[in-house]
Amino acid sequence: MRVTRVTPGHPSAVYGEGSAGPARDGGGASAAPAGNGADPLATAGDIPSAGSDAAPATPGVDPSAASVVGRVDLASAYAVLEEVASLREFPTLLPRAEAETLLRDPPPEYRFACFACVDGSRVVGAAWLTFSQSENRHLLVADLAVLPSARRRGAGTLLLDAVRQQAAADHRTVVLGETFTPYAAAGPVPGPAFAEAHGFTRQYSALHLVLDLPTDRLEALAAEAAPYHREYELISWPDACPAQYVDEYCGLLGLVDQEVPLDELAIEPKRWTVERLRTAEAHRREHGRTGWTTVAAAGGVLVGFTELAGTPTRPGQFEQRSTLVRREHRGRRLGIALKAANLQAATRSARDAPGTVHTWNAEANHPMLAVNQQLGFRVVERQDLWLRTSPPTCPLPPPAPHPPGSPLRWVNPSDDWLAPQNPLGQPCTSRANPADEWSPHRNLLGPPRVAWVNPPGKRLAHRILLGQPCV
């Protein structure tokens, strides 16, 4: 077996066992069967993890040491993802045409790669890799799929080896994958078993719920909830956020990663600006995607929102995205009112045609699960996110002195990954850690952190701007 990076329009060099790693027995099912579930890195118009960038070579792999055995096009690789996704009752894989569009024209804050595993002349496995270019640059999100007939012959392990090489070449220390399990499944299933066997640990569990459209309960639920929030106004819009709400709306979006339960999964919250939002909206519009948003306002101030997204390649199928109500405004049934109003707006635009709404909720998010069950959603499968951490590949540089006359410690002027670990909950006020060592990682590009270095109980996983003092 061999692994090749798929690049539409270009021949694909296929790397054999000496480059991508030897095939090993027992590597059958995928670590993350193809599909776009509750992606913790995507909200508010961002792109699900399917697509590819256009880089023609695989970093960390020497093409001269590989045997070029032919070309693997996107259709052949994507057919594997489609076949594996079809094994689920409600597959959510991005349609192939849309994936190719995203591959050729990725959104500004992501890049993608696609790999195929070839056995002879047959493609038996595929992987989509998602690289965030903004927050969470320590993460590589990998969706793996292996045909059922080719499992337990090393294809999954070979793909995972290529993914790990790609992560190391891009200085990413964490690989994140997902598995889907039927909600009523009895006994073990292959995806989680593969993940555990290859050193992944479960970090987050969510339930995949679906709602059949049309539904006749939205109007009654909205009327029942109305007396609890009479002082609030519900405002709906399609596509882009109106200018008069854009600043406050960005503020609400920025709360999602901080307040939505994510179990043990530690990710860096997105920083939403007007420019970032407008760029996401423009990219969505250029590719024919649709969106509906409903917000709740009190005294002219936005206090909650919910979103739905649709795609022209899959009419009648909608994805329920983020929903959030500010803490001080909860307990007034705004969550169910927002969702009911937004679903009514979306179904009216679809002329009440038959369809399905997909949503994902953390198993620990009992209030939102209760809201969705009232709306008529039913649970169809479980989604688990798995994480594997690798040590940084960069060598440690020699210690550097204080900048002359500076009362501050410089965090990492040599642009290298370092090993020491910050204490849990230590405020970033004078130096990065008490042992007078360099910080382990660089924070996101932007102003220096003045709050906590890392969340309680978590290892620091972000990066600080090159040369930025830790004040």
Instruction: Give tens-digit pLDDT for 228-253.
Output: 999 999 999 999 999 999 999 999 99
Q: What is the per-residue pLDDT for 33?
A: 30
pLDDT at 202: 94
- pLDDT tens by residue, 398-430: 444 444 544 433 343 333 333 333 333 333 333
Same-domain pairing of 218 and 197: no
What's the rounded mean pLDDT across residues 246-273?
89
* pLDDT of res. 259: 85
Both 165 and 259 in one domain: the answer is no
Give yes or no for a cis peptide into 214 (omega within 30° of 0): yes
For residue 252, give the CATH number of its domain. Answer: 3.40.630.30
Cβ atoms within 10 Å, residue 74? 22
Contact 139, 104 (CB under 8 A): no
State pLDDT tens for residues 143-178.
Answer: 999 999 999 999 999 999 999 999 999 999 999 999
Cβ–Cβ contacts within 10 Å for residue 127, how many? 31
Closest of 265, 209, 271, 275 to residue 241, by C-alpha:
275
pLDDT digits (tens, 9 = 90+) for 292-343: 999 999 998 999 999 999 988 888 889 999 999 999 999 999 999 999 999 9
Provide the β-strand partners of residue 234: 296
Q: Express as a percent the part of the chain with pLDDT over 70.
A: 68
Q: Are 360 and 430 in a shared domain?
A: no
* pTM as predicted: 0.71
Residue 461 has a pLDDT of 34
Closest by CA position to 204, among listed 140, 136, 267: 267
Instruction: Please answer whether residues 39 and 319 qualify as being in contact, where contact means their C-beta atoms are separated by less than 8 angstroms.
Output: no
Q: How much is the pLDDT for 392?
A: 60
User: Does any domain span residue 423?
Assistant: yes
Instruction: Give the model's pLDDT for residue 44.
Output: 32
pLDDT digits (tens, 9 = 90+) for 219-232: 999 999 999 999 99
* The last residue of a domain, from among 177, 204, 231: 204
Average pLDDT, the chain: 74
346, 374: one domain: yes
Please check whether residue 27 is in contact with residue 157, taking contact to mean a CB–CB distance below 8 angstroms: yes
Mean pLDDT within 57-72:
35
DSSP 8-state symbol, 342: H
Q: Do 216 and 293 lie in a common domain?
A: yes
pLDDT at 267 (0 to 100): 84
The separation between the first and the last C-alpha atoms of the chain, rounded to the nearest angstrom, is 52
17, 161: one domain = yes
Q: Provide the residue range defining the domain that includes 8.
A: 2-204
What's the mean pLDDT in 283-291?
88
> Residue 124 — pLDDT band, cuts 50, 70, 90?
very high
Is the predicted pLDDT of residue 2 greater than 60, yes or no?
yes
Residue 389 lies in a domain: no
pLDDT at site 6: 84
Q: Do residue 460 and residue 349 come from a single domain?
A: no
Question: Domain count of the chain?
Answer: 3
Those residues whose C-beta lies under 8 Å from the C-beta of residue 302, and which sit 6 or more positions away, are: 245, 248, 249, 251, 252, 295, 296
For β-strands 317-325 and 14-15, DSSP reports them as unpaired
Q: Are residues 460 and 412 in the same domain?
A: yes
Q: Give the integer Cα–Cα distance in Å for 115 and 144.
A: 9
pLDDT for 76 beyond 60:
yes
What per-residue confidence (pLDDT) applies to 257?
Answer: 87
In a domain, 127, yes or no: yes
Q: Tell me whether residue 388 is in a domain.
A: no
Burial class (CB in 10 A: 0-12, 13-18, 19+), 339: buried
- Domain annotation covers residue 77: yes
pLDDT at 412: 39
391, 397, 401, 404: CA torsion to nearest 10:
-100
Residue 427 confidence (pLDDT):
34
Q: Which of 204, 224, 242 is the last residue of a domain?
A: 204
Pair (415, 342) in one structural domain: no
Of the residues 383, 402, 428, the one at which a domain ends:
383
Question: Residue 140: inside a domain, yes or no?
Answer: yes
Question: Does any domain span residue 335?
Answer: yes
Q: Are residues 142 and 262 in the same domain?
A: no
pLDDT above 60 for 138: yes
Among the ranges given (34-38, 63-67, 211-215), the one the predictor scored with the smallest mean pLDDT: 63-67
| Distance (Å, whole) CA 99 – CA 103 | 6
Distance CA(193)–CA(146), nearest Å, equals 14
pLDDT band at residue 8, thresholds of 50, 70 and 90? low
pLDDT at 350: 65
Please report whether residue 32 resides in a domain: yes
CA pair distance 138, 461, nearest whole angstrom: 7
Provide DSSP, 361-430. EETT-HHHHHHHHHHT-EEEEEEEEEEEE----SPPPPP-PPPTT-SS-B--TT-------PPTT-B-SS
pLDDT of 439 over the 50 cut: no
Residues 244 and 171 in one domain: no
Residue 152 φ then ψ, to 5°: 65, 30
Check pLDDT > 80 for residue 115.
yes
Whole-angstrom distance, CA of residue 164 vs CA of residue 110: 19
State mean pLDDT over 355-384.
94
Place of tokens 């499968």: 381
Mean pLDDT within 180-207: 90
118, 69 in Cβ contact below 8 A? yes
**Range with the lowest mean pLDDT among 22-26, 217-221, 279-283, 346-350?**
22-26
Residue 352 above 70 pLDDT?
Answer: no
Element (H, E) at 42: none
Domain co-membership, 462 together with 336: no
pLDDT at 433 over 80: no
Rg (CA), the chain: 23
